[in-house]
Amino acid sequence: MPSTSHLLCAPLLALGVANVSAAQSLNIDFGNGPVPADTYAAGGMPGTWNSVPGIGPMTYGPLVDLAGDATAADVILSAGSEFSDDNPDTSGDDEALMDDLACAYGNGASAPTEVTITGLLDGEYEIYSYAWAPDNPGSFVTEVSVALSSDPAQLVTGDWPGAQMQGVTFALHTGVIVSGGGDVVVTFDQDSGNPTVGSINGIQVFRRPIIGSLDPLCVPNANSLGLTAKVTLEGTAVAGNVILARCTDGVPSQFGYFISGPAGFYFSPPGSEGIICIGSPAGRYNSGSLSQVFVFDVDGVSTNTFDGGQSVLPTDGSWSPVSAVVAGETRGFQAWHRDNIPAPTSNFSDSVLVTFL
């Protein structure tokens, strides 16, 4: 690719565009060069790469997912100008992704560059942020942070290692929870001790998969809206790993919590309009200090996270806290929630069964 000086990056102005259906996992390549092939995974997942100019402020979209299907996702670049350099050590798809970029500003030169991805489905995401300077990789340093991740800011710098490598060519932030239509904001900044320009080669947004299967013997009763509440779980079915639980088709403004236990026990508890589909020992994720009690939003949706294993704090009522998951165990997950049919009562969702590794 033709070369110019990375230090000559300068902010440019631009305009924005439109938006379509729902987004899941995305690959984005910034800059003015060719995009990698669909078979190229970089540090994350293979699939279609969106070609996005490195010019900001600008909104680009709609983006396509890994299968090439249109989504509701847009990407907003708060600032940036395009740069490319033909690094002699990169080739093929690595060269297509890494040898062109959007320049990131920060640390006194101007505000850091934010890349905001909108229109994502609720869920838990991993964010791979490529921030490598092809013209001077051993000297230029980019600091990358993701607002919704508990992972700290990471520095990216170093000579090309022969393949994608965390800390050298990209930063990885995990546990990014999107809920209620929230945005993912990735901030690219200069390293505070290195007054150079930051690099934005690309971003991969990977939504963790839905796990488990519906318990076919659990037939929930309709709530006061005539709907049956439904549970989905996202994450990995590994004992102790974090799970994102979502309940839909609930009654807006009513509260509830998720419960967990062995499958194969189905009855309607006294005073409830619903069917409980898990047996003993059962436990509930209803710790106030962990914000495990949810309230359905205006669309009847609630989300929560737990480790798929135990709730170590005491819970009220007769049920014990949720016990730790053991590898090889199959466990059912339901949501209990308040309702009015027409008098105040409670109900249960369907049940999802997960066999843990």
Where along the chain do the CATH 2.60.40 domains lie?
210-355
State the pLDDT at residue 301: 82
Count of helices and strands (H, E) across the chain = 1, 27
The CATH topology of domain 210-355 is Immunoglobulin-like (2.60.40)
Residue 192 neighbours by CB distance under 10 Å: 12
Could you give the residue ranges of the DSSP H alpha helices within the chain? 92-98
For the chain, how big is the Rg over CA atoms in Å? Answer: 23
User: How many Å apart are CA 78 and CA 266, to the nearest integer?
Assistant: 53
User: How many Å apart are CA 221 and CA 342, to the nearest integer?
Assistant: 14
State the pLDDT at residue 195: 61
Cβ 13 vs Cβ 29: under 8 Å: no
Dihedral sign (CA 258, 261, 262, 267): negative
Cα torsion for 39, 44, 50, 51, to the nearest 10°?
Answer: -90
Ramachandran assignment for 217, one of left (phi > 0), alpha (psi -120 to 50 degrees), beta (any other): alpha
CATH classification number, 6-207, choose in 3.30.70.580, 3.90.1150.10, 2.60.120.430, 3.40.1280.10 = 2.60.120.430
Where along the chain do the CATH 2.60.120.430 domains lie?
6-207
* pLDDT tens per residue across all 357 residues of the chain: 444 455 445 433 332 333 333 347 999 999 999 999 999 999 988 999 999 999 989 999 999 999 899 999 999 999 888 999 999 999 999 999 999 999 987 544 557 899 999 999 888 889 999 999 999 998 899 999 999 888 899 999 999 999 999 999 999 998 788 877 779 999 999 876 666 688 999 999 998 777 889 999 999 999 999 999 999 887 777 776 667 788 989 999 999 999 888 888 899 999 899 999 988 777 888 877 667 789 998 888 887 776 554 433 333 333 456 677 778 888 899 999 999 888 899 999 999 998 888
Dihedral sign (CA 269, 211, 299, 315): positive
User: How many Å apart are CA 40 and CA 128, to the nearest integer?
Assistant: 14
User: How many Å apart are CA 180 and CA 118, to the nearest integer?
Assistant: 12
Residue ranges with strand state E in 152-242: 154-156, 170-178, 184-190, 198-200, 202-207, 210-211, 213-214, 230-235
Tokens representing residue 236 in the block? 């990995």
Residue 1 neighbours by CB distance under 10 Å: 18
Dihedral sign (CA 248, 251, 252, 257): negative
State the pLDDT at residue 22: 39
